[in-house]
Amino acid sequence: MKELVIVSGKGGTGKTCVAGSLAVLARNKVMVDSDVDAANLHLLLQPEEHEKRPFYGLPKAVIEKKDCLECGLCTNLCRFDAIREFVVNPSACEGCGVCFHACPVDAVKMVDHLAGYLYLSDTKYGPLVHAQLGIAEGNSGKLVSAVRQQAKEIAEKEGHDLIITDGPPGIGCPVIASLSGVDLALIVTEPTLSGIHDLERVLALVEHFQGKAAVCINKWDLSPLNSREIESFCAAGDVSVVGKIPYEPAVNDAVRLGRPVVQYDCGRVAEEVVNMWDRLVKLLSL
Ligand code: SF4
Ligand code: SF4
């Protein structure tokens, strides 16, 4: 089984558009949306949800008022300033357990904490695993790992030979959890100065995990000069530029209508995405 993850140094580069089109083009795969803070691949794939599972993050502290001596020890020890007047603020509590261990009268309990949901769905392009983390919840990396694990179980059980993940933007914890152990990371970038900087950062992360990367330049023709710079940078690092997608206003219409661009009249964009998929198939040795 192979794993392809689509990432970008920041949001808004067209990563999910690419993921939605690869969902149409790839055969026998499981799709994953690991952007658990703001999942949106489902808007393009229009899934039918068949299971919703609760996701529990790290347990959080709760002080039993009736047992508390109000000695203040826990308040002083909490590095996250999560305890005020002998009440724990669950949004600030990081679940470290220091107060639990320190309390002389066992007045602190560590309680399971519902942090979000994981969804198993069917789409006309195959299974989709996605998730939603609650507002202001941490543990996004843990939920990403749970989503990936679930996708692997489905792929093994149903005999799929590929997992395609629409990864989170940026280079933080959920991206790290999405990248570890994958066969190929497709980095979607734009030909702007900040795009080049973000590409360098995410490529460094992929290299840190000793992973293989390929690059797609979205809207490349908006700045042929910067696109050439990206191509030179990639060539120097032996990274393939597998796609150069031109700017096409109809892409916005496709997104607004919830349609993958390869199934919409997007001119040369669809053609280039198909060509890019052919190159990815070769890189993945599918
Ligand atoms: S350490 Fe225990 S007894 Fe002391 S204030 Fe905290 S919860 Fe109450
Ligand atoms: S578990 Fe840790 S972060 Fe949470 S209230 Fe206790 S000491 Fe603070």
pLDDT in tens, the chain (286 residues): 999 999 997 888 999 999 999 999 999 999 999 998 888 899 999 999 999 999 998 899 999 999 999 999 999 999 999 999 999 999 899 999 999 999 999 999 999 988 899 999 999 999 999 999 887 676 688 899 999 999 999 999 999 999 999 998 888 888 999 998 999 999 999 999 999 999 999 999 999 888 899 999 999 999 999 999 999 999 999 999 999 999 999 999 998 899 999 998 888 999 999 999 999 999 998 7
Which residues are 129's β-sheet partners? 32, 120
Task: Please answer whether residues 144 and 7 qualify as being in contact, where contact means their C-beta atoms are separated by less than 8 angstroms.
Answer: no
pLDDT, residue 171, reads 86
Extract the tokens encoding 249: 């206003």
The closest-lying atom of ligand 1 relative to the alpha carbon of residue 73 is 1
Ligand 2 pocket residue status of 93, Cβ below 6 Å: yes
pLDDT, residue 169, reads 87
CATH 3.40.50.300 fits 2-28+161-284, yes or no: yes
Q: What is the DSSP letter of 221?
A: G
Provide the residue ranges of all domains of the chain, joining segments of one domain with +. Answer: 2-28+161-284, 57-114
The closest-lying atom of ligand 1 relative to the alpha carbon of residue 108 is 7
pLDDT, residue 10, reads 80
- Dist CA 190 CA 247 (whole Å): 10
The CATH fold assigned to 57-114 is Alpha-Beta Plaits (3.30.70)
Ligand 1 pocket residue status of 73, Cβ below 6 Å: yes
Total-model pTM: 0.87
pLDDT, residue 210, reads 85
Task: Please answer whether residues 108 and 63 qualify as being in contact, where contact means their C-beta atoms are separated by less than 8 angstroms.
Answer: yes
Residues 6+ away with beta carbon under 8 Å from 135:
none
Q: Identify the residue whose C-alpha is closest to ligand 2 atom 6.
A: 99
